[in-house]
Structure 1
């Protein structure tokens, strides 16, 4: 679920809507997966050529992605891909912790037997999947990882809150992909998720929240470290070009 995106057509079912939605999803996947160079200008003509759609649905898709913060927009000069920065990651992580703390506390307070079963199942499936498919992260694990975190807050009784958390999760995923944290990571990710789930299932909201925040902050710090390593590795080449 995303918020702030305009309807692509009056009834949402016409060919314009279908084409714009197709471009939107393809381009969004590429943006989140780090397949496109950050800060580069995104010309409508280039998107038309790459994704095989007309200019009108392409503009619809670009405007929708801009409303989600995945693209920036220059007045009269088109769109550009939002950069990844340490400052932005810090703000993103902080905001995500704020919102998901509230969502998790509400979810635990209103938990049901069905929610508990779903959480146990999500954790079990996550534990059976291999995270790494070097040099990248296993996409199947990513889906199960997303499901676990979504189930965790699903009993909070606010689709708005869940929707905002989903948006932040997308942006966090983009940072993890850009940092390529699947390579050489030393952590027991399943133990982190198990601790969150066990505290939640026990009704220990304080413990679950702290475990969740620790989990997100550790991921962010690892991304920060990878960005620093990449900058250090790129510095000699940058100096050579000058």
Structure 2
């Protein structure tokens, strides 16, 4: 037996690593919409063999972040203003439903987790995703998602939570692409106050106000991205 041969467990572990790293670079806007993901080039980029890379790309294709085109290979999924509007509309539908259900099942343990998540987010400075600020920007994104998912945490449906989490990741991709290519285009100075207001409405158990604030929060971000998304698509490298 060849001692250098990788076991199935090793291959799976490498596939997980490849999936996480490619996914992170797509969400961070470092791999552009429409960019061709050549197996050999991606393998060299991450120092991972071609078989785990192919497995990871197939998985990302099923998640919608990568497109597999017949006879042409793998490409980073395209973006468009129409798709973003659809994403925001669907997020509002499902997240307000989940938020209402969570408030119905309000308890002190949930409140404590929400307050802690909000304070962690508020203490984390958001910086533009330049090379010098990348780590801090990623920390803000983690805190931001933690807070928003906790708002929905008591909805009682893991299916709904998983779908909302996936949509949150796709929204992150749009924001990061916009800021990477147009750093001055989106500076959400009011986001911190919006988070604080959301927390206050939930703590008051005012479902109508909380849902209205959540919808306004997403629509404000959408308007900030309007017009920028098309520029991002046109400036992205073409295959």
Give me the TM-score of the superposition, normalised by structure 2. 0.85
Q: Please, which of 60, 85, 92 is the counterpart of residue 90 of structure 1?
A: 85
Q: Which residues in structure 2 correspond to 1:24-39 (within 5 Å)?
A: 24-39=19-34
- Are the aligned partners of 2:23 and 2:60 in contact in 1 as well (CA < 8 Å)? yes
Q: Please, which of 36, 39, 58 is the counterpart of residue 63 of structure 1?
A: 58
- Are the aligned partners of 1:48 and 1:54 in contact in 2 as well (CA < 8 Å)? yes
Q: Would you say 1:40 and 2:35 are equivalent positions?
A: yes
- Are the aligned partners of 1:39 and 1:82 in contact in 2 as well (CA < 8 Å)? yes
- Are the aligned partners of 1:104 and 1:156 in contact in 2 as well (CA < 8 Å)? yes
Q: How much does 1:188 deviate? A: 1.5
Q: How much does 1:187 deviate? A: 3.0
Q: How much does 1:179 deviate? A: 0.8
Hey, what does 1:143 align to over in structure 2?
A: 142
Q: How much does 1:223 deviate? A: 1.3
> 1:227, 1:64 → 2: CA distance?
26
Q: Please, which of 186, 204, 207 is the counterpart of residue 209 of structure 2?
A: 207
> 2:69, 2:128 → 1: CA distance?
38
Query: Number of paired residues?
Result: 221
> 1:24, 1:134 → 2: CA distance?
21
> 1:90, 1:115 → 2: CA distance?
31
Q: Which runs of 5 or more residues in structure 1 are unaligned?
A: 1-12, 235-242
Q: Would you say 1:116 and 2:115 are equivalent positions?
A: no
- Are the aligned partners of 2:79 and 2:229 in contact in 1 as well (CA < 8 Å)? no
Q: Are the structure 2 counterparts of residues 231 and 18 from structure 1 closer, same or farther at C-alpha, using a change threshold of 3 Å?
A: closer
Hey, what does 1:16 align to over in structure 2?
A: 11
- Are the aligned partners of 2:67 and 2:74 in contact in 1 as well (CA < 8 Å)? yes
Give me the TM-score of the superposition, normalised by structure 1. 0.84
SS at match of 2:226: helix
Hey, what does 2:172 align to over in structure 1?
A: 173
> 1:124, 1:186 → 2: CA distance?
18
Q: Are the structure 2 counterparts of residues 190 and 17 from structure 1 closer, same or farther at C-alpha, using a change threshold of 3 Å?
A: same
Q: Would you say 1:156 and 2:155 are equivalent positions?
A: yes
Q: Are the structure 2 counterparts of residues 151 and 227 from structure 1 closer, same or farther at C-alpha, using a change threshold of 3 Å?
A: same
Deviations 1:103-139 (A, max 9, x none): 1111111111100011111112222221225756722
SS at match of 2:189: coil
SS at match of 2:75: strand
- RMSD between aligned residues: 2.1
> 1:130, 1:182 → 2: CA distance?
16
